[in-house]
Amino acid sequence: MSTAVGTVPELRAAMRGEVVVPGDPGYDEARKVWNADIDRSPAVIARCATTDDVATAVAFGQLAGLEIAVRSGAHNVAGRCTCDDGVMIDLSGMRTVQVDPETRRARVQAGALLGDLDAATQEHGLAVPLGAISHTGVGGLTLGGGMGWLTRRFGLAIDNLESAEIVVADGRVLRASRAEHPDLFWAIRGGGGNFGVVTEFEFRLHEVGPMIDFGLFFWPVEQGVEALRLMRDVVGGLPRTLNAFIAFTNAPPAPFVPQEHHMRPGYALVLAGFGDSAEHARVAGRLRAALPPLFDFCTPLPYTELQKVFDEGTAWGYHAYEKTIEIDDFTDPVIDVLVERLPQKASPLTVLIAYRLDAAYTEVGEDETAFGGRREPRCELFLFPICPDPDTLVADRAWARGLWDALRPLSRSIGGYVNSMSGDVEEERVLAAYGREKLDRLAQIKAVYDPGNVFRNNVNIKPV
């Protein structure tokens, strides 16, 4: 239940959680977000402890005439979880995960991180198909779709969402599901944070782990054409119990990497197996026989550790940018562009990562959810500059934009994954992501639950 408060002292008195403003101890720490390139100063940070706190903060922001931003894991590359001179509704203190192994359901507060959810579900040998970096927030990732290691086997995170608790603009706390407010439930499964503040998710769980099969195969820059063709052919024929990410990256300075190859740029295939270990071994053998890698490393691994493989390279404090683009496959023209442009990046942390989307991902109808992407077999390319300083980011941002422009004629859609749209997003790209029919439906639902466009600090869908 929201409380009508219009001043900071009234907000402090009405909330169980902490309220932080400029000049308070801890303010500078509280306003930090994952991307060091984002430096914004909210007028008020409402560190919510309960759903009632969220409703009160939403009412406060509107009464005070302040822009509202919603923070879960603070991982959005564009920094949409914060704002200048507005109110940041900080959910990071709401991280409880409750697992019912009998019904295979998990109730997850929206401030939880993927690592929180994985730790709780893996106690019972269960998991949600959600993401691939453990310090990402569950909330924002889910609302835009949520793709990761388990997507080929069980679909997107939104395909496994059973219900959600959401605070809408007028202060009501609603439960959205197929049976309750089904229009809202449809919209939040892919429509982002446009419709309110989700405070709790209920997910369907699946048997996964606790051990999986892991493999990393690495080829030098000079073998880019051959390596990408091989990876294309192998990944396109994987059973759904296996998944693989194709990457251009620098070899990590890890113990399993020969010293002379530490930080060497090249092409990598990261292969995860969730079923028969023999299947994983067969694919590994095919890769080695067809094009012997510079090095490879295969081992059993806890599922929770698989979810942390990319954590170190994406740690807090780097300067980052992101662009995505859809391709049907790694055709030879696409490979030619990549081989020419990928080695031109400046930062050793900057990566390209490609997800193959097929199998379970394609078994959900285009209109069953609001997800902004084709439910056809395809690849999503993530161009991800990660830099130690702002000057290097300037160079790699230009690199990413140039590569995106070069790939655009080879793509069927310029929309891209809404969770990865950086900066001010042109209406053309939002339309390309959702399509006219779906976007119009979202705008109509937005007009019902947020007619004043209170929740606009996102890839915004304007109410009709």
pLDDT, tens digit, 9 for 90 and up, residues 187-235: 999 999 999 999 999 999 999 999 999 999 999 999 999 999 999 999 9
pLDDT given at position 422: 73
Just give the CATH number of 97-208+439-449: 3.30.465.10
Indicate the fold that domain 8-90 takes in CATH: 3.30.43
Answer for the pair 19, 53: CB distance below 8 angstroms, yes or no: no
Of how many residues is the chain composed? 464
Q: Where are the alpha helices (DSSP H) in 193-307?
A: 224-235, 277-290, 303-306
Just give the CATH number of 211-420: 3.40.462.20
pLDDT, tens digit, 9 for 90 and up, residues 23-63: 999 999 999 999 999 999 999 999 999 999 999 999 999 99
pLDDT, tens digit, 9 for 90 and up, residues 403-419: 999 999 999 877 778 88
Q: How many CA atoms lie within 13 A of 265 on its CB side?
A: 17
Distance CA 247, CA 400 (A): 14
pLDDT given at position 415: 73
pLDDT given at position 373: 85
Residue 13: exposure state from Cβ atoms within 10 A (0-12, 13-18, ≥19):
exposed
pLDDT, tens digit, 9 for 90 and up, residues 352-364: 999 999 999 999 9
Task: Provide the percentage of residues in the chain whose pLDDT is more than 70.
Answer: 99
Predicted confidence band of residue 3 (pLDDT cuts 50, 70, 90): low
Mean pLDDT of the chain: 96
Residue 113 — left, alpha, or beta (φ > 0 → left; ψ -120 to 50 → alpha)? beta
Each domain of the chain, given as residue ranges in start order, spans 8-90, 97-208+439-449, 211-420
Residue for token pair 């990457």: 247
Domains 97-208+439-449 and 211-420 share a fold: no
For residue 428 the two structure tokens come to 């053309």
pLDDT given at position 4: 67
Region 160-171 average pLDDT: 98
